[in-house]
Amino acid sequence: MRDATAFEEPDTFLPERWLAAEPTADMKTLFMPFSKGTRACLGKGLAMLELKLVLGALLSRYEVRLPQQTTEESMEMRDHFLVVPRSGKCELLFEPLTSCTTLQAR
């Protein structure tokens, strides 16, 4: 996903690039987190649902920040099978929100 021929500013975090009415054909071709076709991941639906639930629960209870020592250089990405920061770690600070209401499923 960091191909400059398909993605404008490939090293910049721009989630809004996917909000365009019609992403470019190259973008669609290069973005396959769960594969495609007959060999696609059977657990994709469950994985996406779980991600939404976990993120929703975390973000409704905590403010998430980067530590002060985090630099642009330490977060520069390198491509492997997975994309990881060059420093090898991505530290986050979770601070509880003071005005948090908890929703409970019944």
Amino acid identity for residue 59 in this structure: L
Known binding-site residues equal 41
Known binding-site residues for heme equal 41
Question: At 72, is the pLDDT very low, low, confident or very high (cuts 50, 70, 90)?
Answer: confident
> Which pTM does this prediction carry?
0.51
pLDDT digits (tens, 9 = 90+) for 84-98: 787 888 889 999 998
Four-residue CA torsion sign, 46, 49, 53, 59: positive
Amino acid identity for residue 84 in this structure: V
Would the pLDDT of 1 be above 90? Answer: no
Hey, where are the domains in the chain?
Answer: 32-96
pLDDT digits (tens, 9 = 90+) for 30-56: 777 777 777 788 888 899 999 999 999
